[in-house]
């Protein structure tokens, strides 16, 4: 077979088929979704129902938090970044679709994690809660999974968490 005859056909074929191999630009694909999520954050922030928490270690990020129940812990103990915490949570998007939940993970629904190993917004929320607190925390996409998304979370998604800080096991053990 003479491959020299195929070379002139290869370049036009490349021009025809190469664009189909390129991925869509998430910024374009999710432009409307991004605007909807940014509007949701703006509305929640201006509602007066949430406290805006900006961490000292990242002045470009924030979380909107509303306390649904204050814990009964007399010492008002907050977890550190490297604390192992026990939480119960429900994650939804701005449409109310459930994206994740600790109830899906195991029978007792307790999720054990270190705040430092979570997305920025969840970390900020946890380290600003006391044992026993229940909050609604709204995180803009840049404090969540950003412009790439993760699993069932679309790019540019604001995250709405219902979180209860059940405990910090290492602090509760008796010597």
In a domain, 72, yes or no: yes
In a domain, 115, yes or no: yes
Domain coverage including residue 42 = 25-172
Q: Is the dihedral of CA 89, 72, 76, 174 positive or negative?
A: negative
In a domain, 5, yes or no: no
In a domain, 14, yes or no: no
In a domain, 33, yes or no: yes
In tens digits, the chain (175 residues) has pLDDT values of 555 555 555 455 444 444 444 556 667 889 999 999 999 999 999 999 999 999 999 999 999 999 999 988 777 889 999 999 999 999 999 999 999 999 876 667 899 999 999 999 999 999 999 999 999 999 999 999 999 999 999 999 999 999 999 999 987 655 5
Q: Specify the pTM.
A: 0.81
Q: What is the CATH classification number for the domain harbouring 85?
A: 3.10.50.40
In a domain, 40, yes or no: yes
In a domain, 84, yes or no: yes
Domains identified in the chain, total number: 1
């Amino acid at each position: 077979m003479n491959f020299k005859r195929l070379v002139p056909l290869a370049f036009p074929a490349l021009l025809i088929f190469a664009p189909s191999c390129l991925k869509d630009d998430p910024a374009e694909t999710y432009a409307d979704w991004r605007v909807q999520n940014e509007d949701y954050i703006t509305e929640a922030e201006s509602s007066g129902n949430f406290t805006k928490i900006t961490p000292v270690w990242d002045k470009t990020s924030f979380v909107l938090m509303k306390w649904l129940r204050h814990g009964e812990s007399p010492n008002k103990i907050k977890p550190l970044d490297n604390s192992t915490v026990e939480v119960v949570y429900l994650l939804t998007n701005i449409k109310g679709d459930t994206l994740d939940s600790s109830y899906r993970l195991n029978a007792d629904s307790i999720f054990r994690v270190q705040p430092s190993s979570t997305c920025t917004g969840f970390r900020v929320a946890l380290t600003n809660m006391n044992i026993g607190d229940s909050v609604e925390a709204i995180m803009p996409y840049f404090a969540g999974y950003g412009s790439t998304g993760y699993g069932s979370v679309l790019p540019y998604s604001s995250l709405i968490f219902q979180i209860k800080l059940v405990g910090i096991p290492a602090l509760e053990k008796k010597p």
